[in-house]
Structure 1
Amino acid sequence: MTPLERALRERIRTEGPLTGEAFMEACNSYYYATRDPLGAAGDFTTAPEISQMFGELVGAALADVWARAGRPANARYVELGPGRGTLASDALRVMRSAGLVPPVHFVETSETLRAAQKAAIPDATWHEHIEHLPGDGPLLVVANEFLDALPIRQHVGGIERRIVITAGQLAFDRDGEIVETSPARDGAVRAISERLVALGGMALVIDYGHERTAPGDTLQAVRRHGFTPVLVNPGEQDLTSHVDFQRVGEIAREAGAVFSGPAEQGPWLERLGIMARARMLANAAPERAAEIEGARARLCRPDQMGSLFKVLAISAPEWPTPAGL
């Protein structure tokens, strides 16, 4: 039994059944505070860790929008949940080549991951919450696999699903057609949308999910690069759910922002020039040509990450639509 499971069981005994939202929040807070989950030795691998091409094309998209917006001098680069800082490092390199050298702001709560980010981007500024970001200039925001990790609520027949102890095991108290909501996700989208409307700028959101609101159980756990039961090993595996992109668009528009997309990740990267970039890298390092092509395929092919992951943008009304969307 994990240390967190013992704590959760005691919480259930003293406070009663635990909501799925509270369970997911407790598990992910513990999980990210106690490890670096990325890479082959971890539990999962994100697109920036697969290839530099991903971060480079994100950086190119941000630099292009910034240039078409008039090259504002006080723009800032913001990343929500920046992992090891790999995406930022690759994106900022491309932005610098386009004449954009913005101050860097990270929204990150894990001290373990902050240490890795500091090694990659030493001069970044860290924040606990989106609301703590600076308020005196346009924001160029990236949220790659950030929204999927925010806690969700599940309802069956209009009643919130909870976690109980049954026959000595953690179990859900009801089954049936599940409807998911996420006040935490709504709040994050609203906060960034309101800041973009007030300050200018654009946010690129890259995540997996569904384009239309629909019922269904999308809560899942990943450990050692495979799916595992959600209620097993609390705090020792990553819990996520599919992002409802229709809901993201509704929240953004309610805040007065412009919503673009979603587009599938593969076609989006192809429109931004990943094929040409892969050829350049392979020509510069022929011994790595197969590795580079394998990474490109993993990012773009429909049967890998190309269709599952979507890209969308939230923009200030006066800012241009980003390339590829």
Structure 2
Amino acid sequence: MRQFVIYFVVLLFALTGCEKKINPMDPVKDDVNLKNKKLAVIYTDVNSRDSELVLINNKDKIEETQRFKYAGIVQVIKNPSGGLLLPVQLEDILIQIASNGEVNEQKIKTFPLFMETQKGYRLTTYNTAMDYGTIEILENGKKKSKKLDGLLRSATADQKYVYVYGNVNGSANVLYVLDRQNLKLIKDMTLSYGPSDCIKVIDGKVFLSSDNDNMLTIVTPDSWKVSYMKLPYTGPDRILSDSDSIYIAYELGNRITKIDRKTLEIQKSFKLSGQNTINMRMDNKYLYILSQTDLDEQPIKGAVGRIGIYDKQTGKMSDEIILPEKRDMLVQDLELLD
């Protein structure tokens, strides 16, 4: 995914203190109205402390925005207990928006690189140093953490294990398997393809993306067998699933591949309507594709991004939401709220 933030630069940002002069900001509100909102989109800038959360209503119209005086917010994450989480990748701050709209800031470790929340836990990887990172799990109100070699770009968990992808020395692709209870290292597996910005557990198997190849990595925890599935396009970057199918989006690609969940056979691929994907979300009927318009086939004047809404069965676009330019920021991520 194209982001303002380049992973190895975050340490230099803190050491040099380099940033543009801060633009005048609107006063930060104490709360955000999340009621009757359908989508949240985060804009951010890495060179000045300027980010903005945009909320879109059920009529696909921008209804509310909230500015934050931080650079490098590249994820907007739905909290299973309600509300939203916004980790500030260049600092030690987690912005929390409660279900009632109250906005709070929490101190966390410096340089959160990736965060995932599921019912019962929150996983965060941190860019601790140039050659290693930290994985942290928050579960039942208690935190556990462990240092691991490499750039820890993604993570997930099942009932037994925590899975962390590490890019070691800029070339080796490693899957770390940790005991969920104590974060003891169970296995570290060298993979043939990567890097991986997305890990998903589907039907007991671990699926990993590979930004530089046309392969999907599949690990079976019972036997630790590793297999690779060839895809029709290069750069599988996002993986989502419903009860019947697995959906693959490609990094800055204009195709979606649909895979049968039971047989793991490719059902079809469909072309997006002029978009090159940077992120994807899904509900029962539609795929929501986020793109940056300067990377799309036909840039839109006055717009910095757009969300294409595609029927999961037919692949046809049913609607489109245009995201307007906002100062020097780019759109980075989206989340479904209802």
The bucket for the TM-score relative to the shorter chain is under 0.3
Normalised to the residue count of structure 1, the TM-score between the two structures is 0.27
TM-score (norm 2): 0.26
Which structure's residues are more often strand, by fraction?
Answer: 2
Higher helix share: 1
Larger Rg: 1
